[in-house]
Amino acid sequence: MKELERARWRCRRGLLELDIVLQRFMDRHYLQLSDKDLQQFATLLDLSDNDLWDMVTSRKEPEDAGLRPLLELLQAV
């Protein structure tokens, strides 16, 4: 229950850059995500702001290569 709302709140970050990118991602992609995607999205949201931003801007690779497809969506929004 209220998973969308929880995710939306956890997209509130310390960096405005991430606030905006994650809001766009929520609006465009969240509802289409599979269960596996959702799990991976939660993993990404648990990262610290700077690590996540580095991945969104392709300056850092995720340790888990499985996160790449989802990151590509985030990079494109």
Partner 1 sequence: MAIARRKFDAVIVGAGGAGMRAALQLSEAGLKVAVLSKVFPTRSHTVAAQGGIAAALGNVTEDNWHWHMYDTVKGSDYLGDQDAIEFMCRQANEVVYELEHFGMPFDRLENGKIYQRPFGGQSQNFGGAQATRSCAAADRTGHAMLHTLYQRNVRANTQFFIEWMGLDLIRDEQGDVLGVTAMEMETGEVMVLEAKATLFATGGAGRIFQASTNAFINTGDGLGMTARAGIPLEDMEFWQFHPTGVYGVGVLISEAVRGEGGYLLNKDGERFMQRYAPHAKDLASRDVVSRALTMEIKEGRGCGKDADHLLLKLDHLGADVINMRLPGIREIAIKFAQVDPIKEPIPVVPTAHYMMGGIPTNFHGQVVAPYKTGPEEVVPGFYAVGECACVSVHGANRLGTNSLLDIIVFGRAAGNQIIEDLKKSPHHKPLPVDVADRTLARLARLESQKGGESVAQVGTALRKTMQAHCGVFRFADMLKEGVAKIGEVAERAAQTEIKDKSKVFNTARIEALELDNLAEVALATMVSAEARNESRGAHARDDFPERDDEKWLKHTLYFSTDRRLDYKPVRLKPMTVESFPPKPRVY
CA angle 2, 7, 9 (to 5 degrees): 95
Could you tell me the smallest distance in angstroms from the CB atom of residue 53 to partner 1? 9
Residue 9 C-alpha from the chain's centroid: 12
Could you tell me the smallest distance in angstroms from the CB atom of residue 23 to partner 1? 8
Binding mask 9-28 for partner 1 (x = CB under 8 A): xx-xxxxxx-xxx-------
Q: Maximum CA pair distance of the chain?
A: 35
Choose the binding region for partner 1 from 27-35, 36-44, 47-55, 63-71 (rule: CB under 8 A).
47-55
- State how far the Cα of 50 lies from the Cα of 59, in Å rounded to an integer: 11
Residue ranges binding partner 1 (CB under 8 A): 1-2, 5-6, 8-10, 12-17, 19-21, 48-50, 57-59
